[in-house]
């Protein structure tokens, strides 16, 4: 079946339905779906193997992607929540968990797995083939390539999918002399070269701290220059922010073990006559009595830039026929809510998908594998007029509706990994009285599609963190107590949201309670009675029926049954209430807190350090007193 032409367009003959540029994990994942669907595609890879990037990166060879194999449960999708390295397929043997038992595995194992994946499914990859130029002279693309023997040829394609991954290292133009530094990708890993040396590492992400940890035992002093506030993954819940596995330098800094993190921004780098690096810093000091900027220089033996990657090489595109704008300091492509560039049918897949997602996992295998599956389905609809994947639920069957939502929230891997970004969509058609349940769609793209925007009754279901309701006065890591089971609103961690839309307009939303392991089935009810599967199902029925008026049936809406409260819950006494700390921030939900001591010590008046004027005045008083005493002695 050939791709369908757009209205008013002339279909040009093509060699392929799809050209994929790059055989990294994203290119392999899309190739799998295209091959399974019988589409005409080719993957062009400039290297002699798939996923060549992982032969060298990360430099420390330990991945920060989880490989948790033992999870109590047998559901494949539930276990994929904790397998961050496998690509999707129908072959249960092609799981990365077969390759390593390590929680944080070696990158060489991932490289081997990805090449085995390409071989196992006999994906149509042309290795040692460089894409030289991509143009779009008409409704289709022309892709010019250089093959292994040096011959230059070209092909025509309906759609181009850029799976190029990290294209080059980011060297910020606002740092004068940045070109003098070593980079994350190129610096020498031999620890002996750095013995008793001073090292500066520029950057505040995982690559910077991974590098710092590598040299922490051999270098005399390691400084990590952040230039901004540190973003910890445990605070932001974004897997790309600084992970605990890489933060040893922070621990050493706060225990005063020579190494340090600096909030200062690097302004300029030069080399002196001794071959040392002289680094000029600009430091914002708002904590001073007179806030201001502090400028200072430090001399280093080595400077390594670890400032991340650029994900676009615009030189691959013919600028007269293809438009790819850059965003985020020119590091990412500008993408639509379905990962399309400003050029129709030109998409970016893989790590570049993070251009529109800084909340979940689009920049990692365990996130973009679902994005790619969704994009494949969207393209099947666009180019081949296939229906989006969905099931049809029995007409006006609230019991089946609630059970389906509970099931998806309990075992879905895609909603879990792509929390806050991807959702399921349930549409009730009043004309046919049919309920359709669609899975795994980009949340912001849903109401751009006519079948959802024009519908009278649409429900979206997604898993999202509720931290925004608790204000900013305390950190996420302080929230270690049970959520409020008397309400469905105040849950900090990931939990289900159900939102209602009518004719494309948001109406309202409801939430289910937080679950310790994000399961809402009977297992949770058995192990933790306060989570009631039936209560959640009744709550869903009530909410859905309130919008659709399917039945007059009454539903139990008490999140925590009264008998459970009496059995398991004892309110604070008046004395204990008096020991609660005061929260000055006005937030919808209250942070969990520890009680103050019963007999707190009286608050002592803080003695401020004397100002320079006070010191001078004091000195003058001492001089005057000395003069008076001298006169009295006379």
Give the range of the structural domain holding residue 202, as residue numbers without chain letter. 170-305
pLDDT at 457: 95
pLDDT at 557: 72
Stretch (H or E) spanning 397: none
Chosen domain end from 332, 359, 384 = 384
For the chain, give the percent of residues with pLDDT over 90.
Answer: 72
The pLDDT of 69-94, averaged and rounded, is 96
For the chain, give the percent of residues with pLDDT over 70.
Answer: 90
Query: Do 321 and 292 reside in the same domain of the chain?
Result: no
- pLDDT, the chain, mean: 90
**Which carries the bigger pLDDT value, residue 483 or residue 375?**
375
Query: Do 379 and 405 reside in the same domain of the chain?
Result: no
Is the model's pLDDT at 171 over the cut of 90?
Answer: yes
Helix, strand, or coil here: 39? coil
- Of 243, 260, 264, which Cα lies nearest the Cα of 251? 260
Q: What are phi and psi of 94, to 5 degrees?
A: -90, 60
pLDDT at 568: 77
Query: Do 433 and 460 reside in the same domain of the chain?
Result: yes
Residue 631 domain-assigned (yes or no): no
Residue 425 burial class via C-beta count within 10 angstroms: exposed 0-12, middle 13-18, buried 19 and up: buried
Is the model's pLDDT at 634 over the cut of 60?
Answer: no
Rounded Cα–Cα distance for residues 218 and 196 (Å): 7
Q: What dihedral angle (degrees, nearest 10) is formed by the CA atoms of 8, 13, 15, 18? A: 0
Is the model's pLDDT at 434 over the cut of 50?
Answer: yes
pLDDT digits (tens, 9 = 90+) for 318-361: 999 999 999 999 999 999 999 999 999 999 999 999 999 988 99
Residue 90 domain-assigned (yes or no): yes
Query: Do 415 and 551 reside in the same domain of the chain?
Result: yes
pLDDT at 630: 45
Query: Do 236 and 122 reside in the same domain of the chain?
Result: no
If one counts every other C-beta atom within 10 angstroms of the C-beta of residue 300, the result is 20
Helix, strand, or coil here: 120? helix
Lowest mean pLDDT among 255-269, 311-325, 513-527, 584-598: 513-527
Query: Do 109 and 257 reside in the same domain of the chain?
Result: no
Residue 601 domain-assigned (yes or no): no
Residue 159 domain-assigned (yes or no): yes
Query: Do 252 and 151 reside in the same domain of the chain?
Result: no
pLDDT at 323: 93
Query: Do 315 and 255 reside in the same domain of the chain?
Result: no
The pLDDT of 605-630, averaged and rounded, is 54
Is the model's pLDDT at 137 over the cut of 70?
Answer: yes
Total count of domains within the chain? 3
Rounded Cα–Cα distance for residues 157 and 382 (Å): 15
Looking at the DSSP bridge assignments, the partners of residue 573 are none
Residue 196 domain-assigned (yes or no): yes
pLDDT digits (tens, 9 = 90+) for 376-393: 999 999 999 999 999 999
pLDDT digits (tens, 9 = 90+) for 243-282: 999 999 999 999 999 999 999 999 999 999 999 999 999 9
Per DSSP, the residues of 490-547 read: ---SSEEEEEEEETTEEEEEEEPPP-TTS--SHHHHHHSTTS-HHHHHHHHHHHHHHH
**Which carries the bigger pLDDT value, residue 482 or residue 529?**
482
Is the model's pLDDT at 488 over the cut of 50?
Answer: yes
Query: Do 467 and 449 reside in the same domain of the chain?
Result: yes
Residue 608 domain-assigned (yes or no): no
pTM for the structure as a whole: 0.90
pLDDT band at 367 (very low <50, low <70, confident <90, very high): very high
pLDDT digits (tens, 9 = 90+) for 280-322: 999 999 999 999 999 999 999 999 999 999 999 999 999 999 9
Per DSSP, the residues of 5-20 read: PPTTPPPPP-SEEEEE
Length of the chain: 634
pLDDT at 513: 85
The DSSP code for 86 is P
Query: Do 488 and 549 reside in the same domain of the chain?
Result: yes
The pLDDT of 427-456, averaged and rounded, is 94
Query: Do 85 and 231 reside in the same domain of the chain?
Result: no
- The owner of tokens 């009810």 is 525
Is the model's pLDDT at 190 over the cut of 90?
Answer: yes
- Of 52, 51, 9, which Cα lies nearest the Cα of 31? 51
Query: Do 157 and 126 reside in the same domain of the chain?
Result: yes
Residue 11 domain-assigned (yes or no): no
Residue 573 domain-assigned (yes or no): no
Query: Is the bond preceding 58 in cis, omega lying within 30 degrees of 0?
Result: yes
Chosen domain end from 343, 358, 384 = 384
CATH number at residue 275: 3.50.50.60
pLDDT band at 561 (very low <50, low <70, confident <90, very high): low
Per DSSP, the residues of 408-450 read: HHHH-SHHHHTTTTEEEEEEEETTTTEEEEEEEEEHHHHTTSH
Chosen domain end from 568, 600, 620 = 568
């Amino acid at each position: 079946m050939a791709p369908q032409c757009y209205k008013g367009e002339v279909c040009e003959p093509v060699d392929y339905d799809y050209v994929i540029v790059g055989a990294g994990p994203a290119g392999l994942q899309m190739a799998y779906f295209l091959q399974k669907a019988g589409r005409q595609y080719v993957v062009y890879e400039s290297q002699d193997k798939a996923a060549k990037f992982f032969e060298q990166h990360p430099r420390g060879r330990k991945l920060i992607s989880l490989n948790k194999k033992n999870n109590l449960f047998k559901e494949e999708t539930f276990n994929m929540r904790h397998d961050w390295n496998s690509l999707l397929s129908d072959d249960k043997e092609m799981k990365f968990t077969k390759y390593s038992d390590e929680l944080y595995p070696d990158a060489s194992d991932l490289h081997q797995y990805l090449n085995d994946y390409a071989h196992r499914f006999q994906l149509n990859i042309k290795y040692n083939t460089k894409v030289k130029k991509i143009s779009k002279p008409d409704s289709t693309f022309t892709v010019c390539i250089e093959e292994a023997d040096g011959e230059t040829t070209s092909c025509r394609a309906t759609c181009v999918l850029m799976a190029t991954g990290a294209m080059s290292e980011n060297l910020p133009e606002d740092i004068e002399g940045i070109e003098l530094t070593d980079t994350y990708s190129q610096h020498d890993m031999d620890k002996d070269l750095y013995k008793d040396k001073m090292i500066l590492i520029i950057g505040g992400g995982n690559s910077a701290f991974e590098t710092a940890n590598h040299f922490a035992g051999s270098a005399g002093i390691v400084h990590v220059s952040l230039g901004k506030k540190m973003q910890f993954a445990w605070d932001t819940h974004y897997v790309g922010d600084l992970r605990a596995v890489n933060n040893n330098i922070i621990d050493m800094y706060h225990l005063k073990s020579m190494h340090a993190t600096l909030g200062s921004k690097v302004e300029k780098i030069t080399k002196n006559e001794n071959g040392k690096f002289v680094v000029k810093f600009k430091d914002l000091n708002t904590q001073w009595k007179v806030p201001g900027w502090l400028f200072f220089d430090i001399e280093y033996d080595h400077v390594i830039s670890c400032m991340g990657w650029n994900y676009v090489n615009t030189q691959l595109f013919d600028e007269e026929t293809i438009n790819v704008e850059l965003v985020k300091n020119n590091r990412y492509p500008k993408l639509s809510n379905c990962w399309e560039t400003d050029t129709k049918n030109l998409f970016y897949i893989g790590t570049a998908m993070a251009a529109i997602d800084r909340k979940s996992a689009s920049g990692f295998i365990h996130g973009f594998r679902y994005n790619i599956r969704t994009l494949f389905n969207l393209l099947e609809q666009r180019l081949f007029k296939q229906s989006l994947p969905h099931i049809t639920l029995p007409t006006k069957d609230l019991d089946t509706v609630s059970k389906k939502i509970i099931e998806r929230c309990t075992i879905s891997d895609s909603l879990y990994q792509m929390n806050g970004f991807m959702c399921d969509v349930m549409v009730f058609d009043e004309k046919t009285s049919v309920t359709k349940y669609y899975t795994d769609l980009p949340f912001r793209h849903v109401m751009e599609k006519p079948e959802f925007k024009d519908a009278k009754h649409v429900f979206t279901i997604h898993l999202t963190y509720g931290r925004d309701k608790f204000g900013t006065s305390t950190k996420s890591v302080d929230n270690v107590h049970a959520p409020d089971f008397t309400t469905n609103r105040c849950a900090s961690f990931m939990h289900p949201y159900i939102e209602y839309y009518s004719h494309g307009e948001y109406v309202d939303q409801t939430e289910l309670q937080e679950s310790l392991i994000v399961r809402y089935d009977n297992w949770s009810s058995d192990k933790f009675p306060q989570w009631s599967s039936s209560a959640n199902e009744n709550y869903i029925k009530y909410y859905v029926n309130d919008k659709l008026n399917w039945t007059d049936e009454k539903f139990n809406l008490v999140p925590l049954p009264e008998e459970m409260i009496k059995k398991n819950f004892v309110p604070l006494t008046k004395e204990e209430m008096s020991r609660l700390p005061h929260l000055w921030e006005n937030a919808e939900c209250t942070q969990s807190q520890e009680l103050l001591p019963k007999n707190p010590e009286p608050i002592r008046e803080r003695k401020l350090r004397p100002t320079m004027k006070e010191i001078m005045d004091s000195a003058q008083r001492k001089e005057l007193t000395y003069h008076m005493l001298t006169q009295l002695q006379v």
